[in-house]
Homo-oligomer: A and B are copies of this chain.
Amino acid sequence: MTIRVPRKKADAYQHGDLRRALVQAGLKMLAEGGVDGLSLRGAAELAGVSHAAPYRHFRDKEQLVSAVAEEGFRMLTSRMRDEIAARGGDVLSRLRAAAEGYVAFAVAQPATFRTIFGGAVCGEDQPPPPGLKEAGEEAYHVLRDLIVEGIERSRLRAEEPDRLALAAWSMVHGLSMLIIEGQVPGVRGNAAQRRAVTDVVVHLLETGIRPLS
């Protein structure tokens, strides 16, 4: 009789971890070379494998990009959770923390952020790949849970949570994109200014742009 131990070696590239290695390589290429720096051949080289090997794990480049986007999405969610936990306070304070984590991630990893929402992943009609969809829903639930708590505590309007969540997500997502695009002058490189701008925008999200009347 032989006892089968599940193989978990350190140099496990040849045992099923090539997929993970390729995704990590993709994230590294995004961080170093921007969106255009991500290539199948480059990822294969970084993983120490021939350029044809990735096709054992991904049908085409789009599937690798999708896997990288999924991992990036989970990193974004982590960043939000960390910021929320570090800030604490009442639910509005934690919502602001989530917003700042979101913006901070976008600025720190613009190419990864763009890949997550890059649309190279799902075309006009195709549904998003399941893993990426799941990662998106996980991020969305972090936001939605805060919204629901805010409503229960009467710190947010007694509206349908999904409506408030969509408005909040849109605002923070748009702000992040405009900042990394350089459309908000003097903010991309200045962390203090960035936080100030984010606070202003989130405050307007909370109270609206119409007069209090």
Residues of chain A whose beta carbon lies under 8 Å from any beta carbon of chain B: 34-36, 92, 110, 114, 117-120, 122-125, 127-128, 136, 140, 154-159, 163-164, 166-178, 180-184, 188-189, 197, 200-201, 204-212
Contacts and interface: CB of A to CB of B under 8 A. Distances in A.
A170 B200 CA distance: 12
Q: Which are the 8 A-B pairs with shortest beta-carbon distances?
A: A174-B174, A208-B208, A170-B174, A173-B174, A170-B175, A167-B204, A207-B208, A171-B171
A35 to B, nearest CB: 7
Given A117-B181, A174-B175, A205-B205, 6 more contacts: A155-B210, A157-B208, A157-B211, A177-B177, A206-B209, A208-B208
Contacts of A124: 110, 188
A122, A171, A211: most-surrounded residue (chain B CB, <10 A) = A171
B170 A211 contact: no
17 contacts: A110-B119, A117-B181, A156-B211, A157-B212, A163-B201, A164-B209, A166-B175, A166-B178, A166-B197, A167-B171, A167-B204, A170-B175, A171-B174, A174-B175, A174-B177, A205-B209, A206-B209
A167 B201 contact: yes
B119 A157 contact: no
A166 B119 contact: no
A34 to B, nearest CB: 7
Nearest to A136: B183
Contact of A205 (B36, B155, B167): B167
A179 to B, nearest CB: 9
Contacts of A206: 208-210
A180 B119 contact: yes
